[in-house]
Chains A and B, each alone.
Chain A
């Protein structure tokens, strides 16, 4: 039981490049989330998927898109990366309410 896994662990992009961050959970959880963590800002919600087949914007969705591929997988795409998207990205899942389980994170640098 791996919990929540994220790939890649690290990534460096040039401004304007695109990439997809992958997230998968093996806990049969319904809801999944993407956060970014920046110094002094805590964890801010980018997008979430309350259940398979649905996605919704969070607090900071601009510049991102998501896909809930199936119940296990929830990907985050940057179509045209910008330096302001340099951050640590966390994926999380929950079976229903309250407690969320986090992946190890992806550290992204946009030059």
Chain B
């Protein structure tokens, strides 16, 4: 069963508008969440993260929101730029061991149109 789900395989947004990428999880033991960005033919790169003790974390144009009661997190990109076009993965860390293991969602492909 998929513990971390990104139900939208793709999203298309106009340049300058807001992009909202969503992620749902099932395991209430997850205590840390991350977003990664991946360009074609490259490895994923870390974008932003949030601890389960917070409900919002902001870094420039990127903000992650966490709703623990709904087991839902979202990534907001404002304003969106063509260079943001990539695949975005959300990931969760259970924190129950010191292995550092992450569980990833399926990814959402964002296209930002000029």
Give A contacts to B, CB under 8 Å.
4, 31, 33, 35, 40-45, 48, 50, 56, 58, 90, 92, 94, 96-105
Pair B98/A97 contact, Cβ less than 8 Å:
yes
Pair A98/B49 contact, Cβ less than 8 Å:
yes
Assembly CA distance A96 to B97 (angstroms): 11
Pair B98/A43 contact, Cβ less than 8 Å:
no
Task: Tell which of A98, A102, A104 touches B100, judged by Cβ atoms closer than 8 Å.
Answer: A98
Name, among B6, B9, B91, the residue most crowded by chain A CB atoms within 10 Å (CB to CB): B91
Q: What would be 19 A-B contacts, judged by CB atoms less than 8 Å apart?
A: A4-B43, A31-B100, A42-B4, A43-B91, A45-B101, A48-B100, A50-B97, A96-B98, A97-B32, A97-B95, A97-B98, A98-B34, A98-B93, A98-B102, A100-B100, A102-B43, A104-B41, A104-B42, A104-B43
Count of B interface residues, CB-CB < 8 Å: 28
* Cβ–Cβ < 8 Å partners of A41 in chain B: 106
Instruction: Give 9 new A-B contacts, CB below 8 A, not counting A43-B91, A96-B100, A97-B32.
Output: A35-B104, A41-B106, A43-B104, A48-B100, A97-B93, A97-B100, A99-B34, A103-B43, A104-B42
Pair A99/B46 contact, Cβ less than 8 Å:
yes
Shortest CB–CB separation between residue B81 and chain A, in angstroms? Answer: 23
* Cβ–Cβ < 8 Å partners of B49 in chain A: 98-99
Shortest CB–CB separation between residue B57 and chain A, in angstroms? Answer: 13
Assembly CA distance A4 to B98 (angstroms): 21
Shortest CB–CB separation between residue B38 and chain A, in angstroms? Answer: 8
Q: Does B45 contact A (CB under 8 A)?
A: yes
Which 9 A-B pairs rank lowest in CB-CB distance, beginning with the nearest?
Answer: A102-B43, A43-B104, A42-B106, A42-B104, A50-B99, A31-B100, A94-B100, A102-B44, A104-B43
Name, among A41, A58, A101, A102, the residue most crowded by chain B CB atoms within 10 Å (CB to CB): A102
